[in-house]
Amino acid sequence: MKEMKLFLGPQHPGMHGNASVHMFVDGDIIKRSYLLPGMLHRGFEKQMERKLWVNNIALIPRVCVPEPDINEMSFAIATEKLLKLEIPERAHWIRMIILELARISAHLMAYGGIGGPTGNYTLMYHAQLDRNLILDIFEKITGARVYHQYIVIGGVRQDLPVGITKEILEFVNDLESRLVEYRDLGIDNASMIMRIKDTIMLPKEVVWELGVTGIGMRSAVGKAYDIRKVAPYARYDQVEFEVPTSSYSDARARLDIKIKEVQQSINIIKQCIEKMPEGPVRVKPGRGQSMRWTVPKGHVYAPIESSRGEFGYYMVSNGGTTPWRVGVRGASYPQGLLGIEKYLPGTRIDDAALWVDTMGICAPEIDR
């Protein structure tokens, strides 16, 4: 049969974000496929070079929309490394709470997201409802639902509002008790198993070839390769958590890990709230008004573990008021571009969207 050409996206309900998977199919089997990125290109790296260090706070969360806090964190860490700035202890813990809440929200979005391609909308609706609660908590802490601009150079922008820790605890306990429902609807659901078991495999051997990190990699190699464990930042070395792994990477394994990571994040949040000290939350990177802050010369790469894998900012400072060069290593770059080119062929049309969901592909961070 003749090869037929199909587009999954950019305007396509199975595609999360504005990207397009171009597929050449024979029947239902994909023969060749590419990701067409760039629909969300805003020239981020150029924009950041042209904005002051302080102004970049407004810009950075927009690199990856579903999980903006990792951008802020990575940017802040990179700048602090250049400045050799020690930030207050409490700020570390607040940052961890924020990051883990963001991780839960991103996982819920991705986990609920498989409701789209598999048609199980109830799963999606429930996950989005819980995610919305996290956004409400974020709004209380930071003043905005999505673009928090909360983790800044030198700590966090302001202290946690009074009583929010209780609210967070209530929420995570409630979510913890309902995780089993997510399993019921998703990975323990017999009809869903048909879709997610043994599909869109990521063989162990090719992980390093692609450069995939995060859940994709951990589900294949079976080792706890998590930056939070391997090269801890913030205070991840002072909390106890496990890194769920698997050595057989199909969609089911990856989704299972996602739910397990949500559990681990809940554990981390609980520990953070318990261990968080009182004290100041922010130090200024230097004297002077913010528009005249400068950062010493240097090159630094600041990787952190996002919900999709290693996310990092490569920053070069020239000693001026603006960064000289900011490079963003989008966590989904390898699986999004090379992964789709190399490992989607051979699967079915139905599975393409699942690859996007389970591997964690965030179009804006590929395009920037």
Partner 1 sequence: MMNSMNNIKEVEDLVNKTVKVLKTENIDKNQIAFEIEKLEVHRLLTVLKNTGWIQLSYLSAIDWPDENKFEVVYIVFNWEKPVYIQVRTKIDRGNPVMESILPIFPGAKYYEREAHEFFGIAFPGNPDYEKQLILENWDDIPPLRKDFDPSAYSARKFPSREYPQDFSVKDPNNKTLEKTEERKKRAKALRVGGKKQ
Partner 2 sequence: MDENKKYPKSSIFKPLRHFKYLFKRPLSHPLDTVLTAKNADYLNKNNPFRKNKLKNSQPRTGPDNLRGFHVNDWEQCIGCATCEEICPTAAIEMVPRHDLPLVAGKLQQRPVIDYGRCCFCALCVDTCTTGSLKMSKEYVFGDSNPNSFKLMPTEKWQDHEVELGYQKSEVTDLLDLKRIEMEHVSPEERVKSYIEVIRGYSKEFAKLEASRCVECGVCTASCPVQMHIPDYIRAIWEDDIEGGLKIIYETNPLPGVCGRVCTHNCETACSIAQRGEAIAIRWLKRYIIDSAPDEMYEKIFSEPVSEVINAKIAIAGSGPSSLSAAYYLRGLGYTVDVFEEKSRAGGVASFGAPEYRIPDYAVEKDINFIKKIGVNIYTNTKIGKDITLEELQKKYDAVYLGTGFFSARKLNIPGSDHPDVMGAMDFLPITRDFARGAISLEDVNVKPSVVVVGGGDVAFDVARNATRIQILKYGKANVKLTSLETLDILPGSDDEYLEGTEEYINCFLGHGPQEVVLKDGKIKGLRVTKCTRVFDETGRFNPEFDNTQETLLEGEQVFFSVGQAPDYSYIPESLKDKVIIERGKIKASQDGQVAGLDWLFVGGDIFRGPDIITGVSDGHRAAVAIDDFLYNKSKKKEQTEYMKNVREAIKFNNPDLALKPERKRTLK
Partner 3 sequence: MILNILIGIGIAFFGFVLQTSIAGINRKIVGRLQKRHGPRWYQEFIDIFKLLSKRSITHGWIFDFGVIMALGGIIATAMFMPLTNNFLAFENFDNFFIFVYLIAVGMLGMAMSASGSGNPWASIGVMRALTTMLAYEVPFLIVVLTIINLTGNSSLTEIMLYQQASGNNWFLIALPIGGLVGFIALMGMLGKKPFETYVAPAEIASGPMVEYGGKQLGMLFIMNEISAFIEVSLFVHLFLGGATNIFEFLIKYFVVYTLANLISSVNGRFKIDQVVKFFYKWPLIMAVTQAVIAIYFGWVI
Report d(CA 237, CA 214) in Å as an integer: 18
Report what 316 binds from partner 2, partner 3, partner 1, none; CB cut-off 5-8 Å by kind. partner 1
**According to the binding rule CB under 8 A, does residue 187 interact with partner 2?**
yes
**According to the binding rule CB under 8 A, does residue 209 interact with partner 1?**
yes
**According to the binding rule CB under 8 A, does residue 195 interact with partner 2?**
no
Q: Is 52 helix (H, G, I), strand (E, B) or coil?
A: coil
Q: Is 217 helix (H, G, I), strand (E, B) or coil?
A: helix
Q: Which two tokens stand for residue 250?
A: 């199909």
- ∠ CA(56), CA(61), CA(65), 5° rounding? 150
Report what 10 binds from partner 3, partner 1, partner 2, none; CB cut-off 5-8 Å by kind. none
Which of 126, 218, 252, 260 binds partner 3 (CB under 8 A)? It is 126
- ∠ CA(64), CA(132), CA(116), 5° rounding? 70
Which of 96, 192, 207, 272 binds partner 3 (CB under 8 A)? It is 192
Q: Which amino acid is at 228?
A: R
Q: 58 to 77, contacts with partner 2 by CB under 8 A?
A: 58-59
CB of 278 to partner 1, least distance (A): 27
Closest alpha carbon to 356 in 15, 128, 83:
15
Token pair 């230097």 is found at 286
Report what 41 binds from partner 3, partner 2, partner 1, none; CB cut-off 5-8 Å by kind. partner 1
- ∠ CA(136), CA(138), CA(142), 5° rounding? 125
Q: Which two tokens stand for residue 73?
A: 């964190």
Of 116 and 336, which has the nearer Cβ to partner 1?
Answer: 336
Beta strands in 3-101 (DSSP E): 4-8, 20-26, 29-36
By residue count, the chain amounts to 368
Are the C-beta atoms of residues 109 and 66 closer than 8 Å to each other?
Answer: yes
Report what 24 binds from partner 3, partner 1, partner 2, none; CB cut-off 5-8 Å by kind. none
Which of 41, 121, 209, 296 binds partner 3 (CB under 8 A)? It is 121
CB of 353 to partner 3, least distance (A): 6
Q: 285 to 344, contacts with partner 1 by CB under 8 A?
A: 292, 294, 298-301, 303, 310, 312, 314, 316, 319-321, 324-325, 327, 329, 333-334, 337-338
Which of 4, 180, 230, 231 binds partner 3 (CB under 8 A)? It is 4
Which of 158, 165, 318, 322 binds partner 2 (CB under 8 A)? It is 158
CB of 229 to partner 1, least distance (A): 9
Of 153 and 352, which has the nearer Cβ to partner 2?
Answer: 153
Are the C-beta atoms of residues 308 and 300 closer than 8 Å to each other?
Answer: no
Q: 292 to 351, contacts with partner 3 by CB under 8 A?
A: 348-350
| CA-to-CA separations, 276 to 87, 136, 156, 311, in angstroms, rounded | 14, 22, 14, 25
Token pair 């995570």 is found at 172
Q: 11 to 30, contacts with partner 3 by CB under 8 A?
A: 12-14, 28
